[in-house]
Structure 1
Amino acid sequence: MNKISNIKLENRIFSNRMVWALIFILLLTLVLISRLFNLQISHYDYYTEESLGNQMRTLPITSTRGKIFDRYGKIIATNQLAYKLTLTPEKTKDIPATLLALKKFGLINDKNIATFETIKKHYKKFHNIPLKHKLSEKQVAKFLVSNQFIGIDIEPYFHRVYPNNDSSVHVTGYVSRMNKKDKAFYNKKNYAGTSFVGKTGIEKQYETLLHGKNGKKQIERNATGRVINSKNIQEPEQGSDLYLSIDLALQKKAESLLKGKRGSIVAVDTTNGEVLVMVSTPIYNPNWFVNGISHKNYNKLQTSKDIPQLNRAIQGLYPPGSTIKPMVALAGLEQGVITAHSKVYCPGFFKLSNVKRKFNDWKRSGHGVVDVKDSIAQSCDIFFYDLADKMGIDDLYDGLKPFNFGKITGIDIPGERGGILPSRAWKKINKDEPWYRGETLITGIGQGFMTTSPLQLAVATAALANKGVIIQPKLLKSTQAPGDSIKNTAKSPQKQIPIKDIHNWEDVIEGMRQTIYAPQGTGRRLNKNLKYTLAGKTGTAQVFGLDAEEQYIAANLKEHLRDHALFTGFAPIKNPKIAIAVIVENAGSGSTKAAPLAKAVLDLYFERPLHK
């Protein structure tokens, strides 16, 4: 039986379907037209740029780092042409497999791969990311002959070199690979493509001067990603060369004198504050850090009890010991507590009323009757115990404060520490305890809570030499931009310590002169064959306190408990040119262990025709 068809119903259904089909086609056409309008008209510039971006790329050109010289133009830090292996992510299909193949080929190791994984997130996919720096000539030749790695290239660059190895490392510092903190700190545009930045010392202090300005180059690639054209659109600007105030010959002399010891020697020009010598020992090789320090060398530095990376010149804080006595004497004279004719009998000990403890002199038999000059020359503790007791901690603090103790000097190098100039307020804040009379006595001989750095001592000694002119020390002497002449830096700020009577300053300086030239002066050994006039002060700083009846015998103590040896001085006495501070940790007597080192440095300084 045949089904009867309904022509009218079928026609209506067909008509409805055609209408919906036409509506769908119309909507689809509108969407396509809208999308074409968006691509070709509304966002034409954007998509044109994106399209060109697949063909054209702008990459940074790293600037050449400025060099560092000493005051006479001797090289301290320079650059050497080297080669690095790079990987471009967008050109490398299988990065893990490529890295493994490079490792098997002998070009990289696990450490290089780990470093790459850490730094790759800081780069874009079209950047050439460094895999390994300072390739050997053999590795470069091996790579160029095979040339089998897609997306892997060898690029020339200038590698930082410290030709004097460990000499002056605490001044110069070193460069090393940029880390996440560095990337966030420095200007992203100017540091794009930069691998190394200064981490310590002058390299860090003047990083932006040394770095210069990066350039830009535009590269053109074809459809397969191969570079078919390259041109520089902005040339890089080389970093400025820096000339430091350091005298490299004096620096090396001081380092040789301190070899095998822990200590520091600092010398400053008394006329302008320029630092001529800044040595801290032990020293280490900054070249270790440039391409990433080895585990062996890193462990060597980290486990050393001598703490080689500590810049003792600005970060080592020590009791100044007797080197503080000239300043204490001056404070007593200026405040009218004593006069140049005041005398004290030294029996070898000092006692406070109603206090059992005896405060011993370094010379147990005593010095007899001494005045200000004698007490400085012979370093009589009893005179200064008595003076400090008469002054009290408040006046003692006020007298020492103008010499900048307890504050940083403001030298142009990172990491300086200020030391401690104790006072009632300081002890209350830091110890939550009252100040005791006996603490005033030991402060008067540079012991107790008081600490200073060798640089602070050198600057304070220079202020004595200048009769109150205290100059901010500096290391940067001049700069030279590419194609420009050498330009001196601005003069260091200076201030005048108030003077009530210039004769007080002259009396103190005479006491320091007698330290070297008087028959009983503690530094009298130095005046043999001395070809210039010298004023000085020896010092011995206790690392720990002894009971009144105990006798200090170095041989019975472990080395780290033995006294520090110190010396400060300036020369010549009239129209002084140089002030020096020396500290040798746990060496004992300042007159025998520190003073001769100062003389050896000063001898070399005055041997130069320039300083005669």
Structure 2
Amino acid sequence: MDKISNTPLENKIFSNRIILSIVFILVLTGVLISRLFNLQIINYSYYTEESLGNQMRTLSIAPTRGNIFDRNGKILAGNQLAYQLTLTPEKTKDIPKTLLALKQQKLINDNDIATFNKHRGRYKKFHNIPLKYKLNEEQVAEFLVSNSFIGIDIEPYFHRVYPNNESSVHVVGYVSRMNKKDKKLYNKKDYIGTSFVGKTGIEKQYELLLHGKSGKKQIERNVTGRIINTKVIKEAQKGVDLYLSIDLEMQKKAESLLKGKRGSIVVVDTTNGEVLVMVSTPVYNPNWFVHGISHKDYQKLQNSKDIPQFNRAIQGLYPPGSTIKPMVALAGLEQGKITAHSESYCPGFFKLPNVKRKFNDWKRSGHGVVDVKDSIAQSCDVFFYELADKMGINDLHDGLALFNFGKKTGVDIPGERSGILPSKSWKKVNKDEPWYRGETLITGIGQGFMTSSPLQLAVATAALANKGVLIQPKVLKSLQIPGEAAKESKRGSKQQIPIKDIHNWETVIDGMRQTIYSPRGTGRRLNKALKYTLAGKTGTAQVFGLDAEEQYIAANLDERLRDHALFTGFAPIENPKIAIAVIVENAGSGSAKAAPLAKKVLDVYFKKLAKTAL
């Protein structure tokens, strides 16, 4: 039997469906119109800017770093045009795949990839992140001809170069890639786009001057992400050029004299505190660090017992030995403990009352009767044992403190150490032990707890030469802002040491003169064919103590346990111009191993001075 149709019901259902469909279409149309209204009218400006942002980007322009010169305009650190391979994350769809392809083309290696991933977080996705520095011309040409990578570009840049390689490395320092610590030190706004900063030496000390000011550029990309136009909005401002007080010719001479040795030579201008020479050996090549040091070279530095990166001139702390005897003598004279005519008998040793131990003189046969000048010239230990005992450690400390021992000199190179000027309170705080009388004696000859750096010795010697004017040493001589004339930098501070009797200073200086010119002076070998007058003091500092009856025989000791050789001096005597300090580690006699080096450096200075006068 056929089913009876219900036409009215079917028509009603159909009508309802039609109405529901129309409502649904009207709702969708309303949503679409609302969305279009939102995009085209309400948020028109926002989306227009976003759209342009995909095409236009504003990026920072890293400034060219300032150059560093010596006092005569010889380049110490400069810049060289090079090319770098960069990757822009927002334009590179598959970064790991792209990096692998670049590696297969031998444009980058695993180290480059690791470095990229390590530093990628520093940059925003639209920045061109460096992948490889210092591409050679062949690599650049090959890439430009066959570049099929979207978001990978070649960009020119200036990289740091040190044309003298190892020379002056401890003064100039080096730049290297920025790390997280550097990011916290420097203003983020000023350093956007900067990849390298100063890590040591002058490069670090004057980073803000050398860096310059960043600029801005607007780049336009096409739909494939390739740059089609670049517009400079604000030019980057080159960093300030720095002129150092260092004399490169003298510096290289000093370095050659210390080649193969561990040691330091420092020369300062006694009139203004300028540092003419600051050498520390062994040295290393700062160019290794600019684009990342190789594992081989890094291990070579790290595993060296000689610690090439250690700046011995300001960080090396050594017993000053006999080089402080002039200062001790002056303290004794000024404090009234002795006079210029005071004499001591030196039998080759000194003994404290009721004490069995002997304090030996370097000359076991003794010096006989000596006065202040003789004791300086002949470096008689017994005279200074006796004087130190008369003074006591507190007066001895106070006398040497006037020459800034135990404190930093304030030189404008980072990393300086202060050394130790011991006292009763110092030992109590640092050793939690009482002070012994015998320790005063060895402090009087620059041994025991006392330590100082070569720079401290040079500055103290300059103060002696100046008869009490203590000058803060300075390495920066002048600076030149781009487009302006060079101007002198601020001088180091001057401090006058209190003088009770100028004759006391003259007595000590004459003792240093006799060191060079007296027939029994420890530096008498230097006076042959001298074309300038020289006052000096030799020194030999023990690395470890000997028993009273034990004899020092260098050949029986490990090389690093042998005595250090020292020399300090200034010239000319009548009108001091420069002061020098030399230390050669484990070399032995100061008169034989350190003093001749000082003369050769001073010869260069006075030879140049004579040429200038012509």
TM > 0.5 fold call: yes
2:175 & 2:210 partners in 1: Cα distance?
11
**Separation in 2, partners of 1:86, 1:319:** 52
Task: Give the deviation of 1:123 after TM superposition.
Answer: 1.0
SS at match of 1:447: coil
Q: Is the 8 A contact 2:70 2:245 kept in 1?
A: yes
- Provide the rounded CA distance (Å) in 1 between the counterparts of 2:171 and 2:478: 16
Cα distance change, pair 424–37 in 1 and its aligned pair in 2 (3 A)? farther
1:150 is displaced (CA, Å) by 2.2
Identity percentage over the alignment?
Answer: 78
Counterpart of 1:229, as a letter, is N
SS state of the match for residue 53, structure 1? helix
SS of structure 2 residue aligned to 1:473: coil
- 1:297-308 superposed matches below 5 A: 297-308=297-308
Tell me what 1:487 maps to.
487
Give SS of 2:108's match: coil
**Contact 2:538–2:590 (Cα < 8 Å) also in 1:** yes
Residue of structure 2 in register with 1:603 after alignment: 603
- Alpha carbons of structure 1 residues 610 and 190: separation in structure 2 relative to 1, 3 Å: farther
Give 1:172's aligned amino acid. Answer: V
**Quick one: structure 1 residues 610 and 458, their matched pair in 2 at CA, closer, same or farther if it must change by over 3 Å?**
farther
SS at match of 1:376: helix
Look up the equivalent residue of 1:457 and give its one-letter code.
L
Q: CA shift at 1:49, angstroms?
A: 2.8
Task: Provide the rounded CA distance (Å) in 2 between the counterparts of 1:439 and 1:288.
Answer: 46
- Cα deviation, 1:565-600, whole Å, max 9, x if unaligned, reads 000000001120000000000000000000000000
Deviation at 1:30, TM superposition (A): 8.0
Query: In 1, Cα distance between the equivalents of 2:324 and 2:596?
Result: 19
Per the alignment, residue 547 of structure 2 pairs with 547
**Over residues 545-577 of structure 1, what are the superposed CA-to-partner deviations in whole Å (9 max), with x where a residue is unaligned?**
000000000001000000000000000011200
Q: Deviations over 1:380-416 (max 9, x none)?
A: 1111111111111111111111111111111111111
Alignment-derived partner of residue 122 in structure 2: 122
**Residue 209 of structure 2 aligns with which residue?**
209
Offset of residue 228 of structure 1:
2.7
Question: Which letter does structure 2 place at the counterpart of 1:388?
Answer: A
Map Cα deviations across residues 342-371 of structure 1 (whole Å, 9 max, x no partner).
111111111111221110000001111111
Distance 1:432 1:329 in 2: 30
Partner of 1:162: 162
The equivalent of 2:562 in structure 1 is 562
Question: Which residue in the other structure is 1:253 paired with?
Answer: 253
Aligned to 1:436: 436
Q: Quote the residue 2:512 is aligned against.
A: 512
Q: Does 1:80 align with 2:80?
A: yes
Does structure 1 conserve the Cα–Cα contact (< 8 Å) formed by 2:151 and 2:226?
no
Question: Counterpart amino acid of 1:419?
Answer: G
1:418 paired with 2:418, answer yes
Residue of structure 1 in register with 2:105 after alignment = 105
Instruction: Return the offset for 1:212.
Output: 0.7
In 2: Cα distance, 1:84 partner to 1:43 partner: 40
1:352-363 equivalences under 5 Å are 352-363=352-363
Aligned position for 2:265: 265
TM-score if structure 1 supplies the norm length?
0.95
What is the one-letter code of the residue matched to 1:200?
T
Aligned pairs (5 A) from 1:26-175: 29=30, 33=34, 45-175=45-175
Residue 382 of structure 1 pairs with residue 382 of structure 2:
yes
For residues 421 and 41 of structure 1, the distance between their equivalents in structure 2, rounded to whole angstroms, comes to: 78
CA separation of 1:55 and 1:355: change in aligned 2, threshold 3 A? same
* Worse-superposed segment, 500-509 or 181-190: 181-190
Contact 1:217 1:230 in 2 (8 A): yes
1:571 maps to 2:571: yes
Secondary structure of the equivalent of 1:399? helix
CA distance in 2, matches of 1:278, 1:583: 12
Deviations 1:515-561 (A, max 9, x none): 11111111011111111010000000000000000000000100000
Cα distance in 2 for partners of 1:428, 1:501 equals 34
Letter in 2 for 1:347: P
SS in 2 for 1:462: helix
Corresponding position of 1:531? 531
Alpha-carbon offset, residue 425 of structure 1: 1.2
Please state if 1:366 is matched with 2:366. Answer: yes
Tell whether the 8 Å contact from 2:150 to 2:224 is kept in structure 1 after alignment.
no
RMSD: 2.4
Secondary structure in 2 matching 1:59: strand
Aligned to 2:582: 582
| Partner SS state of residue 333, structure 2 | helix
* Whole-angstrom CA distance in 1 between matches of 2:150 and 2:421: 64
| CA distance in 1 between partners of 2:548 and 2:38 (Å) | 93
Q: Distance in 2 between matches of 1:419 and 1:28?
A: 84
Deviation of residue 198 (structure 1)? Answer: 1.0
Q: Report the more deviating stretch, 582-591 or 188-197.
A: 188-197
Counterparts in 2 of 1:349 and 1:6: CA distance versus 1, 3 Å: farther
What CA distance in whole angstroms lies between the structure 2 residues aligned with 1:610 and 1:202?
30
1:147 shift after superposition: 1.7
- Partner letter of residue 105 of structure 1? Q
Aligned mates of 1:489, 1:402 — CA distance in 2:
26
Letter in 1 for 2:506: E
C-alpha deviation, 1:13, in angstroms:
14
Structure 2 CA distance for aligned equivalents of residues 43 and 396 of structure 1? 81
Give the match's secondary structure for 1:256.
helix
2:63 partner SS: coil
Distance 1:13 1:439 in 2: 115
Measure, in 2, the Cα distance between the counterparts of 1:345 and 1:65. 63
Determine whether 1:324 maps to 2:319: no
SS at structure 2 position matched to 1:181: helix
Structure 1: gaps of 5 or more residues? none
Instruction: Give the C-alpha shift of residue 432 in structure 1.
Output: 0.7
Q: Are the counterparts in 1 of residues 410 and 473 from structure 2 also a CA contact under 8 Å?
A: yes
Q: Distance in 2 between matches of 1:24 and 1:345?
A: 120
CA–CA distance in structure 1, aligned partners of residues 541 and 313 of structure 2 = 17
CA distance in 1, matches of 2:135, 2:5: 91
Distance 1:26 1:208 in 2: 63
> Is the partner of 1:403 in helix, strand or coil?
coil
Question: Offset at 1:184?
Answer: 2.4
Match of 1:193 in 2: 193
The size of the alignment, in residue pairs, is: 611
Give, as a single letter, the amino acid of the residue that structure 2 aligns with 1:91: K
Local SS of the residue matching 1:166: coil
Whole-Å Cα distance in 2 between the matches of residues 257 and 606 of structure 1?
Answer: 17
Residue by residue, what CA displacement relative to the aligned partner does 1:279-311 show, whole Å, maximum 9, x if unpaired? 000011111111111111111111111111100
Q: CA deviation at 1:25?
A: 6.5
Q: Distance in 2 between matches of 1:41 and 1:428?
A: 80
CA displacement at 1:133 relative to structure 2: 0.6
Provide Cα deviations, 1:3-48, integer angstroms capped at 9, x if missing partner. Answer: 998989x989999997999699779958974x66765666554444
Q: Is the 8 A contact 1:605 1:611 kept in 2?
A: no
Residue type of the partner of 1:446?
A: G
Aligned to 2:449: 449
SS, match of residue 567 in structure 2:
strand
1:478 positional shift: 0.6
On the 8 A contact 1:479/1:486 being kept in 2, the answer is yes
* Matched letter for residue 161 of structure 1: V
Counterpart Cα distance in 2 of 1:19 and 1:132: 64
Counting only pairs closer than 5 Å after superposition, residues 490-501 of structure 1 correspond to structure 2 as: 490-501=490-501
- From the superposition, tell whether residues 334 and 39 of structure 1 become closer, same or farther in structure 2 (CA, over 3 Å): farther
Aligned residue type for 1:496: Q
Contact 2:151 2:225 in 1 (8 A): no
SS of equivalent residue, structure 1 residue 331: helix
User: Could you tell me how far 1:611 is from its partner in structure 2?
Assistant: 6.6
Please give the alpha-carbon distance, in whole angstroms, between the structure 1 residues aligned to 2:19 and 2:591. Answer: 113
Q: Tell me, what secondary structure is at the counterpart of 1:124?
A: coil
Deviation at 1:183, TM superposition (A): 2.1
What CA distance in whole angstroms lies between the structure 2 residues aligned with 1:276 and 1:536?
18
CA deviation map 1:422-447 (0-9, x unaligned): 11111111111111111111111000
In structure 2, the residue matched to 1:399 is 399
Cα 1:24–1:435 shift into 2, 3 Å? farther
Alpha-carbon contact 1:562-1:588 (below 8 Å) kept: yes
**Structure 2 residue matching 1:330: 3-state secondary structure:** helix
Matched, 1:239 2:252: no
